[in-house]
């Protein structure tokens, strides 16, 4: 019997033509709705119950949605990617819905983008580009990277890949992660407890997941303790930063600039104050999106889905 598969992950959907034959060969009938970033709970409640399997992007896989699915045909869920803050795992367990994510898929890709953001902030590259296009030949002084100090928050796969890259620039690296062994990662990386040595940092890069302990970890208190002129990069999850506090410190100049690939609410509100800061760089939650990574993760998601369905 053909099983119905719902895919709501935008990167996979953008390349869905590549996966259609594979999906069919695995015995699935595909549903591929148009998704910009996420579908709403109401939209998902209308869709999910009519499918046997669901490959989730950053959509709200909430108790309400999962319960609607369980009352219908839903038998298994795979979270495409690493972050799982949008999935109610407790509800899955109570509803007897097997669920897994696809860990360790995007370390190199997200680390590459973080490096790009860090270099762009240090040399004001995006602001220069914007001005040249307007006919303004500006020449701002940048910041040399050698012997500067960068804090990396989250030292799993992404953080360790990032440290390997930053070491080549002669940066001093301090890693913050209480859940990863202090022996993990490349040699030369220093470890510290969150809150320590903040005043030394020239850059602060977030690569961590969003959990109850990491939510709003960059808040007003922490921002006040950072060095004036610090530059902030976030390729983790938007919720780790208190955006109201960050705006205040951008206005004062205490934070020189930031590069944010993720936000508390996505897509970004067109009236968000951060759009006023020309020195900042804004992304579209796209750090993992390369052709190779999407292909690798999508096939892995299908493999996991097959394993989950085989057990039900």
164's tokens: 């390997």
- Judge whether 109 counts as a catalytic residue: no
Length of the chain, please?
312
Among the options 237, 243, 249, 264, which is catalytic? 237
| 140 phi and psi angles, rounded to 5 deg | -70, 145
- Judge whether 266 counts as a catalytic residue: yes
Buried b (16+ CB within 10 A) or exposed e, 11-35: bbbeeeeebeeebeeeebeeebeeb
Among the options 191, 231, 249, 285, which is catalytic? 285
- Judge whether 237 counts as a catalytic residue: yes
Among the options 165, 266, 273, 295, which is catalytic? 266
C-alpha distance from residue 311 to each of 1, 137, 162, 285 (Å): 16, 63, 37, 33
Return the active site residues. Answer: 237, 266, 285
């Amino acid at each position: 019997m053909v099983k119905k598969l719902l895919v709501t992950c935008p990167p996979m959907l953008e390349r869905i033509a590549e996966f259609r034959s594979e999906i069919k060969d695995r015995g699935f009938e595909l549903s591929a709705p148009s998704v910009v970033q996420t579908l709403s709970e109401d939209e998902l409640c209308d869709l999910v119950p009519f499918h046997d399997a669901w490959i989730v992007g950053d959509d709200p896989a909430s108790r309400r949605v999962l319960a609607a699915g369980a009352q219908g045909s839903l038998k298994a869920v795979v979270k495409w990617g690493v972050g799982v803050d949008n999935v109610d795992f407790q509800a899955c367990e109570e509803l007897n819905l097997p669920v897994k994510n696809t860990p360790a898929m995007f370390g190199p890709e997200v680390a590459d983008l973080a490096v790009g953001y860090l270099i762009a902030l240090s040399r004001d590259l995006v602001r220069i580009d914007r001005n040249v296009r307007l006919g303004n030949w500006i020449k701002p002084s940048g910041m040399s990277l050698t012997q500067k100090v960068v804090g990396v928050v989250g030292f799993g796969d992404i953080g360790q890949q990032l440290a390997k890259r930053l070491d080549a620039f002669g940066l001093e690296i301090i890693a913050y992660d209480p859940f990863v062994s202090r022996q993990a990662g490349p040699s030369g990386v220093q470890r510290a407890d969150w809150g320590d040595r903040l005043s030394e940092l020239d850059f602060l890069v977030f690569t961590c997941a969003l959990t109850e302990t990491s939510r709003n970890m960059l808040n007003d208190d922490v921002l006040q303790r950072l060095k004036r002129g610090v530059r902030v990069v976030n390729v983790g999850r938007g919720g780790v930063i208190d955006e109201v506090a960050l705006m205040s410190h951008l206005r004062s100049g205490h934070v020189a600039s930031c590069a944010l690939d993720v936000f508390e609410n996505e897509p970004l509100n067109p009236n968000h104050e951060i759009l006023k800061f020309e020195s900042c760089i804004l992304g579209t939650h796209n750090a993992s999106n390369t052709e190779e990574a999407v292909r690798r993760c999508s096939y892995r998601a299908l493999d996991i889905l097959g394993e989950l369905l085989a057990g039900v």
